[in-house]
Amino acid sequence: MTRILMVCLGNICRSPLAEGILKSKLDHAKFLVDSAGTASHHVGSSPDHRSVEIAKRNGLDITYQSGRVFVKEDFKTFDYIFVMDTSNYEDVLNLAETQKHRDKVSLILNKIFPDEDMSVPDPYHNSIDGFKQVYEMLEESCSVIAKELEKS
């Protein structure tokens, strides 16, 4: 089983979408996809209603998800950790204790814009259009991730 974790700040907007999108592209018998946030404000919360709506428009149900915080143990559990922005990247790396764990972490948009270190914008204070843009970026990145994982 290969395990992939998607990480953002609140685990209610971006990473739940990334989890839902990647999960829909992979064989559930071989891959486990989860998500978490670096902050604890939304622990136990359902995904933001705008992420739920965008997911639904694209045939995905993410309502089963529940917010949780990223913990050190996740470095052991997961093989790949994709973060949404540079601030999440720093927060997650600050918890890493070994190079092996640091090597598991990467910015998700580097899958489509290699080495550019671009961030998926935080859509929380934006309109539904912001969520639509986030969905499109994540869809493209997750297509690349899924192809690479299925090959490996």
How far is it, in rounded angstroms, from Cα 132 to Cα 113?
19
Q: Which residue is catalytic, options 8, 13, 74, 142? A: 8
User: Comparing C-alpha atoms, which of 19, 39, 59 is closest to residue 124?
Assistant: 39
How far is it, in rounded angstroms, from Cα 4 to Cα 19?
9
CB 20, CB 55: distance < 8 Å:
yes
Taking the complex as a whole, the smallest distance from the CB of residue 59 to ligand 4NP amounts, in Å, to 21
Q: Is 91 a catalytic residue?
A: no
Q: Is 57 a catalytic residue?
A: no
C-alpha separations of 111 from 8, 23, 56, 65 in Å:
16, 17, 24, 25
Q: Can you give the binding site for ligand 4NP, defined by CB under 6 A?
A: 8-14, 37, 41, 122, 124
- Looking at the Cβ atoms of 4 and 83, the one nearer to ligand 4NP is 83
Taking the complex as a whole, the smallest distance from the CB of residue 88 to ligand 4NP amounts, in Å, to 8
Q: Which residue is catalytic, options 50, 74, 122, 142? A: 122
- Looking at the Cβ atoms of 29 and 89, the one nearer to ligand 4NP is 89
Taking the complex as a whole, the smallest distance from the CB of residue 100 to ligand 4NP amounts, in Å, to 26
Q: Is 50 a catalytic residue?
A: no
Q: Which residue is catalytic, options 14, 48, 50, 142? A: 14
How far is it, in rounded angstroms, from Cα 144 to Cα 128?
25
Residues annotated as catalytic are 8, 14, 122
